[in-house]
Amino acid sequence: MNEKTAEFMILALVGTDHHPFDRMVELVDALQQAGEPGRNGRKCLIQFGTSSPPRYAQGMDYLPKSDVQRQIDLADLVICHGGPSTIVEILRSGKRPLVIARDPRKGEHVDGHQQRFARHMANQGHIDLADSAYDVEQLLSHAASTTISASNANVSLPSPDASALLLGALVDGLIAEGKSYRIWHSRRNESRA
């Protein structure tokens, strides 16, 4: 529980993609309407982007980056879309996100990269993945009764600089491999002629 407010603080982030993510907003809003998980109550802020605004929870379409980080720090539980950047930002804060990945079959995104990334992170044990209202209710109930599920202090992530250097090295390697392949392929075709 957040000591500053004595309320259980939930932050829900749909991100900034232009596709509405009404499914997530409605699910979290329904949880807020349903009641309080403990004696001290529940407060919920939903960043809803282009989705319909919540009816029961507090809502903001977009938050400045500094406010997002401040809200993550204040939250007892962070529910978010499956965007890699958002998930990593939450992990860096020491929180364990509850992730609801956008589904392109429902018009929530252009492809399934959020679903693939979220499954990968769940398989690594870094996030809780929810696919239904029941999943979210169970994970919320667990998070409200313990601070362990909301904490992810054991996750070790490389710095953004280290990640950029690693990505650069991988790209350089792929480019070099491509040049080697083109040279080999060109010589092979010459020898057949």
Residues 20-48 as b or e (16 or more Cβ within 10 Å = b): bbbbbbbbbbbbbeeeebeeeebbbbbbb
Q: Which fold has domain 8-145?
A: Rossmann fold (3.40.50)
H-helix segments, 35-132: 65-74, 84-92, 113-123
Which residue from 33, 43, 58, 47 is spatially nearest to 83, judged by alpha carbons? 47
Distance in angstroms (rounded) separating the CA atoms of residues 48 and 21? 8
Q: How do the domains of the chain map onto residue ranges?
A: 8-145, 158-193
Element (H, E) at 151: none
pLDDT 10s digit of each residue in the chain, 193 long? 555 556 889 999 999 999 999 999 999 998 888 765 544 578 999 999 999 999 999 999 999 999 999 999 999 999 999 999 999 999 999 999 999 999 999 999 999 999 999 999 999 999 999 988 788 888 877 766 654 444 555 666 767 777 777 777 777 777 877 767 666 667 777 777 6
pTM above 0.85, yes or no: no
Distance in angstroms (rounded) separating the CA atoms of residues 37 and 127? 21
**Residue 52: per-residue pLDDT:** 97
Distance in angstroms (rounded) separating the CA atoms of residues 57 and 54? 6
**Residue 149: per-residue pLDDT:** 44
**Residue 82: per-residue pLDDT:** 96
**Residue 8: per-residue pLDDT:** 86
**Residue 39: per-residue pLDDT:** 44
**Residue 116: per-residue pLDDT:** 95
**Residue 139: per-residue pLDDT:** 81
**Residue 99: per-residue pLDDT:** 97
